[in-house]
Amino acid sequence: MMTHEEFTKKLLQNVEVKKEYDALEEEFSLFDELLKARVKAGMTQTEVATRMGTKTPAVARLEAGGGNKKHSPSVSTLRKYAKAVGCDLEIKLVRKKLT
């Protein structure tokens, strides 16, 4: 049986899959940052949900949202999450690197 890493590596050899995966890189990065912040704060999803005034499944969906453009989190939701885990939300534009 393949590990997740091995499976991902195999899938990414397909040009079309790689193209779609790369297109979602920014969103994957955001959701990874959310999870890291919660873990660093030593909190469970339930604790974050309580601080945000929402339910645990909403936090789970937020952290696992990767690529669901139909339900991208609002800035307000991201601020609440950041506050709940003891962080500030920073949004900035970064100039693209010319290749």
DSSP annotation string for 33-46 = HHHHHHHHTT--HH
Is 63 contained in some domain?
yes
Is 90 contained in some domain?
no
User: Furthest-apart CA pair in the chain: how many Å?
Assistant: 45
Domain count, the chain: 1
For residue 52, give its domain range.
4-85
pLDDT digits 0-9 by tens, 39-84: 999 999 999 999 999 999 999 999 987 545 566 889 999 999 999 9
Q: Which residues contact 2 (CB under 8 A, 6 or more apart)?
A: 10
Any idea what the CATH number is for the domain that residue 52 is in?
A: 1.10.260.40
Is 23 contained in some domain?
yes
Is 33 contained in some domain?
yes
The answer to whether the beta carbons of residues 12 and 21 sit under 8 Å apart is: yes
pTM for this predicted structure: 0.73
Q: Would you state the structure tokens that stand for residue 34, as one six-digit string?
A: 């959310």
